[in-house]
Structure 1
């Protein structure tokens, strides 16, 4: 019995990460369905952040009522600025890019985030490259390979990989699951997704600085979601000011996308925080490609998204670059259970929590 209990406890981080990636994959499919129903990506972001704020704020108020530091004007302005990067701009670019492409393509492109974060960290001198060290060579090579994979996915299409369950469905659903009035434009979609990842990477770099002066992680998350809701709503009002009907929401897939998106945000925060404290940030990041695979399967089943050889090869190249970067980063860190790694895991959790 003791051995089974140990196996179960050792397997909980794996089960938690698989569950989290599954929830994100389902969110991608639900969001794509809502976008295909002509839901505005800007309105979707505003509603999703509002739902996340409602879910997270009560926990922050109760659990950190005694440990929450004093809010200052300087800290509040910084929170407003980083919330504009992530989740507002990042999510808007993300869903707009998804509208122009497919859920599978979007999930694959998001794997370039670690490489972009490393590149930006080098630019602002938060990351030092010692080209004579194998770990630095791996990170540089991984960045180059990841960017190459993203270009391959965008520029090379290749033959269609017909799947048994998609035969005859694409003509009825629309090409790769897109709506009839909004056909795919891979170049625009790819640029939107890359811009979103850049915003996300900038957020990751900026977040660590704020945590030093405002270490209440749950309260900071709630504040980011609340300010992000205000900023996202304002952006949506400006973008859709000629079309007020886009705000109308009924008991349909659009409502599901908004509410479920908030639930995924809250669940992802708790799951990543818990797992990172035990296994470290590299362990969490290593599961990102699993989400891409799940999205590809669900997208082909429910949206009849077509798979092309060029995009599959590009996805494999991106994942290869991702693991090169992650391997290099893992060599920079001590063992996951040390105090330094726990603190680093907390900081990493805060940077990814509103995905």
Structure 2
């Protein structure tokens, strides 16, 4: 996950459209996961119903489309480190939603429930600290020359931590909703590979609509060469979407929603 933050931030700073990145990421994920789903789930895949289809559409809208467009835009306004730290609020949101929906039980007399509550307070507090407190810049060996590089125009978006934090936080709320809905969907459609392929496919379609609107009149935004833009799409598509959604589904079925978030 940390590798995705770094690679993606570099691609965005080099001028890649965050909206186009969302599309390419899930096109790659669909191409990789769909063949495995067709082969390994062909004998166990339940019948597709309208209810399941609508849930997959909503899953594709929540995480691949809304969350990642906000997430990448927020990353443009901040840094990879800041984005990584802000994502720690995800378990807190998911825990609160799971508790409100009675998916997660809370008993204040039990240690594991107390730990979850303390963890929620700590993660939200840490995110607030990262957002509101601006410390001195660390002059590390690998950051030398960054200011000069930024002044020449390689970083195309002005830094705005508050705006970036709001976008990332909103994205995390959508991500938490996605996790809850994924757990619910797996109960009626318990085929992780097929569900992952469906989510990635719907994410690519819905993301294409958003990208077409946001990048209208700018066809060059869709161009990708043998550079960090292509690496960001392939790495995030294969590791973070394709494998990520699949492994997330496996963990949910065995350990529960909140364990998956913390993991």
* 2:231 maps to 1:256: yes
Equivalences for residues 128-277 of structure 1 within 5 A: 128-167=105-144, 169-174=145-150, 179-264=154-239, 265-268=241-244, 276=251
Task: Report how far residue 224 of structure 1 moved.
Answer: 0.6
CA distance in 2 between partners of 1:89 and 1:155 (Å) = 25
Q: 1:125 deviation in Å? A: 2.9
Please state whether the residue corresponding to 1:174 is helix, strand or coil.
helix
Deviation at 1:127?
2.6
CA shift for structure 1 position 180 = 4.0
TM-score by length of 2: 0.89
Query: Is the CA contact 1:36–1:178 (under 8 Å) kept in the aligned structure 2?
Result: no
Give 1:83's aligned residue: 60
What is the DSSP-based 3-state SS (H/G/I as helix, E as strand, rest coil) of the residue aligned with 2:117? helix
- CA drift of 1:272 comes to 6.1
Q: 1:134-190 deviations in whole A, cap 9, x for unaligned?
A: 3323222221221111111011012222213333x1222228x99443121000111
Indicate the structure whose relative CO is greater, using CA pairs within 8 Å and at least 6 residues apart: 2
- Asked if 1 retains the 8 angstrom alpha-carbon contact of 2:32 and 2:238, the reply is yes
1:206–1:36 distance in 2 versus 1, CA, 3 Å: same
Distance, in Å, in 1 between the alignment partners of 2:62 and 2:246 is: 22
Of 33, 49, 58, the match for 2:35:
58
In structure 2, the partner of 1:304 is none
Q: Distance in 1 between matches of 2:65 and 2:153?
A: 24
- In structure 1, runs of 5+ residues without a counterpart are 1-23, 282-342
Q: Please give the alpha-carbon distance, in whole angstroms, between the structure 1 residues aligned to 2:159 and 2:60.
A: 29
Task: Assess, with a 3 A threshold, how the Cα gap between structure 1 residues 62 and 147 changes in structure 2: closer, same or farther.
Answer: same
Counterpart contact for 2:60–2:199, Cα < 8 Å: yes
Q: State the Cα deviation string for residues 324-351 of structure 1 (Å, max 9, x = none).
A: xxxxxxxxxxxxxxxxxxx424x659x7
Q: Give me the whole-angstrom Cα distance separating, in 2, the residues matched to 1:131 and 1:348.
A: 19
Instruction: Evaluate the alpha carbon distance shift between residue 160 and residue 267 of structure 1 in structure 2; reply closer, same or farther with a 3 A threshold.
Output: same
What TM-score comes out, normalization by structure 1 length?
0.67
In 2, distance between residues paired with 1:100 and 1:199? 19
**Structure 2 stretches of 5 or more lacking a match?**
none
Post-superposition offset of 1:267? 4.0
Aligned partners of 1:55, 1:249: CA distance in 2, in Å?
A: 19
Q: Say whether the 8 Å CA contact 2:189–2:195 is kept in structure 1.
A: yes
User: Residue deviations 1:98-147, cap 9 Å, x none?
Assistant: 11101111111112211111112223333333333333232222212211
Alignment of 1:286-305 (within 5 A): none
Q: CA separation of 1:64/1:171 partners in 2, compared to 1, >3 Å: closer, same or farther? A: same
Q: In the alignment, is residue 70 of structure 1 matched against residue 42 of structure 2?
A: no
Q: CA deviation at 1:25?
A: 2.3
